[in-house]
């Protein structure tokens, strides 16, 4: 009975996906409600996707080359941001004096969305890899600091007292008690940061780039090839999802048994 019901829901999902695709196809390719130059049909999008795997027109590189260049920048900025953000967040939560001096500055920077820095960084660093990496670095670092800070602050006072009773040094208390407690939160931070980094990168590439997925969709718009824009958007979504899945898997591996979801 229960199994049958589950099948029914899967069927409903399938029917809904098929209906949307069919409606899309009928509206565009049969009824011609919108021109293909404005809203491409599903078949055109699929065709563009496969073509883009080996053709370089109109933006000078294949899909995979764009993807690789986006990923390279994103991972560079992300790695730097994590290496900087996680320790700073932990230090801020652990040491009262660091908190007092660094937090006011951090609170000033925090409400500014990462991508608002793009114009400034472009003027400072030019249009290379640097401004993008800097923007991603900033977005990543902010998300990491916030989450590490909250995570460490969640450490139960009782656990620290237990450490005190057994004569743990400050470093031991930090590494054996506080950081393991904060690990799930730190991982949440890493995932939020990944989302923020990817978004900032796309924004940066829309504004100033010569390759990358953001550049590709911008070119698709200029050469009025909306199918290309669709392909780029789906690719951006897919890669974002894939990176989130990887981090989630890593979280389950590393933070096993530490109330990871």
Partner 1 sequence: MKEESKENLVCGLCAITSVFAFLLVWYLGCTFTALGKLLPDPITVLIGMWGYIVGTVGKCSLLMHALHSLQRVLIGFLIGSALGISLGLLMGRYRLARAIFNPIFRVIRPIPPIAWIPISIIWFGLGETPKIFLIALAAFANTTLNAMTGAESVDKTVINAAKMLGANEFQIFTTVVIPSAVPSIFAGLQVGISCAWASVVAAEMVKASNGLGWIIQAGMDNNNMTQIISGIIMIGLGGFILTYIMRTIEGVACRWNRSGR
Binding flag, residue 249, partner 1 (CB under 8 A):
no
Cβ-defined contacts of 162-170 (< 8 Å, 24+): none
Binding flag, residue 100, partner 1 (CB under 8 A):
yes
CB of 258 to partner 1, least distance (A): 21
End-to-end CA separation in angstroms for the chain = 29
Count residues binding partner 1 (CB under 8 A): 57
Binding flag, residue 78, partner 1 (CB under 8 A):
no
Compare residues 23 and 162 and give the one whose CB is closer to partner 1. 23
With contacts defined by CB under 8 A, name the span among 83-91, 122-130, 142-150, 176-184 that binds partner 1: 122-130
Place of tokens 């902010």: 142
- Using the rule CB under 8 A, which residue among 234, 246, 250, 254 binds partner 1? 234
For 163-189, letters b (16+ CB in 10 Å) and e give: beeeebeeeebbeebbbebbbbbbbbb
Site for partner 1 in 157-196 (CB under 8 A): 195
- Using the rule CB under 8 A, which residue among 62, 71, 153, 244 binds partner 1? 244
CB of 182 to partner 1, least distance (A): 20
Do 139 and 112 touch, CB atoms closer than 8 A? no
CB-CB neighbours of 94 under 10 Å: 20
- Using the rule CB under 8 A, which residue among 49, 51, 113, 260 binds partner 1? 113
Distance CA 261, CA 184 (A): 8
CB-CB neighbours of 122 under 10 Å: 19
Distance CA 122, CA 256 (A): 42
> Residues near 110 by Cβ (< 8 Å), separated by ≥ 6?
142, 146
Distance CA 168, CA 165 (A): 8
Binding flag, residue 202, partner 1 (CB under 8 A):
yes
Nearest Cα residue to 74 out of 194, 208, 206: 194
- Using the rule CB under 8 A, which residue among 76, 80, 102, 129 binds partner 1? 102
With contacts defined by CB under 8 A, name the span among 16-24, 67-75, 78-86, 175-183 that binds partner 1: 16-24
Binding flag, residue 26, partner 1 (CB under 8 A):
no
- Using the rule CB under 8 A, which residue among 94, 149, 187, 230 binds partner 1? 230
Interface with partner 1 (CB under 8 A): 9-10, 12-13, 15-17, 20, 38-39, 97, 100-105, 108-109, 111-120, 122-124, 195, 198-199, 202-203, 206-207, 214, 217-218, 220-221, 224, 226, 229-230, 232-234, 236-238, 240-241, 244
């Amino acid at each position: 009975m229960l199994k049958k019901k589950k099948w029914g829901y899967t069927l409903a999902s399938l029917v809904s996906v098929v209906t949307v695709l069919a409606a899309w196809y009928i509206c565009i390719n049969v009824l011609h409600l919108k021109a293909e130059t404005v809203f491409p049909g599903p078949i055109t999008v699929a065709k563009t996707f496969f073509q883009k795997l080996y053709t370089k027109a109109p933006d000078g590189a294949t899909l995979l080359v764009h993807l690789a260049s986006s990923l390279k920048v994103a991972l560079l900025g992300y790695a730097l941001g994590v290496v900087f953000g996680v320790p700073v967040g932990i230090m801020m939560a652990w040491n009262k004096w660091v908190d007092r001096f660094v937090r006011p500055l951090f609170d000033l920077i925090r409400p500014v969305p990462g991508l608002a820095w793009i114009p400034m960084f472009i003027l400072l660093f030019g249009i290379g890899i640097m401004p993008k990496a800097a923007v991603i670095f900033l977005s990543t670092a902010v998300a990491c600091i916030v989450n590490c800070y909250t995570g460490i602050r969640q450490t139960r006072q009782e656990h620290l007292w237990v450490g005190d009773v057994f004569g743990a040094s400050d470093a031991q208390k930090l590494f054996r008690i506080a950081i393991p407690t904060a690990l799930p939160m730190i991982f949440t931070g890493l995932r939020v940061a990944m989302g923020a980094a990817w978004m900032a990168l796309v924004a940066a590439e829309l504004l100033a780039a010569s390759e990358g997925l953001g550049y590709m969709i911008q070119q698709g718009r200029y050469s009025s090839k909306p199918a290309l824009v669709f392909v780029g958007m789906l690719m951006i979504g897919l890669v974002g999802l894939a990176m989130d899945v990887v981090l989630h898997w890593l979280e389950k591996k590393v933070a096993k048994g530490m109330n990871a979801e």
